[in-house]
Amino acid sequence: MARTMVLHNDYLNFNSKSSRDYPIQVNTAGYYDASSPFTTFNSVGRDDYYLLYLVDGQLSVIINNKEHTIKKGSIVIFPPKYRYKYFGNPPIHYLYVHFTGSYADRFLEECGFVDLPCIIENDFSVEMQSKFNLMINAFLYKDPLYIQKSACLLQEILISIYENAKDKAEDSPLKASLKYIHNFFTSKIDIPYLANLENLSNSRYVTIFKKQMGKSPNEYIIDLRLQLAKSLLENTNMSIRQISESIGYTDQYFFSRLFKKHIGVSPQAYRKTNNFN
């Protein structure tokens, strides 16, 4: 029986840190080739973000106590302090980057990665692998301005992931309803109306939506509303009531409870920390 190698925290948390010295900062980056069955389990999580790009093979990833099998080309993003676990059998080859920065949270949100950890199903491309290799080399060889160069390459990678996901959504059987949701998410939206746009039954529509988007239509709409709420809290002096109503909630107290449930703090506390007006 093949021996399973287990990677532990001391190795996994090398150069783990949260920093606001730069907008985006690569803490460490590299690649991993599995020569034997392995399990990676970080029981405490890192202080930074962790992005993994599977170049070859299959990995089993545990997210929220559920096992997911990801294929070649897929991407996984773990948030800071998340206890992550994944395992697999060779041949497996993946690239990774751990990053932080004052703009990291906002940049991930702008790319649509708001519900972390997440798995992004992505077709393998030589271009994506090449961008990763350039970033890894910039970080490892410590060329002049390597901090800025590796950060720029990482942002290119995240934008590419976002654009690939967007193209898939536009070519999907949910194109009409997704377009409607993005145009009218601050208004009341009924599932039967969305299902009718795609000529599907309500239950079939919800099933396809969950499979493609990783969440229900209602959860997706809530995420869009809260993204807008965060932006308004950061960049305007609108009252909490005004923000609540502008994103589609007439009950300010319901909005505040929902915001705290998903974001972890109240709208007032979020504004106090993130509003620079």
pLDDT on residue 65: 85
Question: Residues 65-91: what's their mean pLDDT?
Answer: 93
* pLDDT value at 7 more than 80: no
Rounded distance between C-alpha atoms, residue 195 and residue 184, angstroms: 15
pLDDT on residue 258: 95
What is the residue-averaged pLDDT of the chain? 90
Q: Who has greater pLDDT, 143 or 224? A: 224
pLDDT in tens, 147-195: 999 999 999 999 999 888 777 666 667 888 998 999 899 999 999 999 9
* pLDDT value at 2 more than 50: no
pLDDT on residue 87: 94
pLDDT on residue 3: 52
pLDDT in tens, 188-204: 999 999 999 998 899 98
Sheet holding 75-78, edge to edge: 25-34, 92-100, 49-56, 75-78, 118-120
* pLDDT value at 123 more than 90: no
pLDDT on residue 46: 95
* pLDDT value at 114 more than 70: yes
Backbone angles phi, psi at 156, to 5 degrees: -60, -40
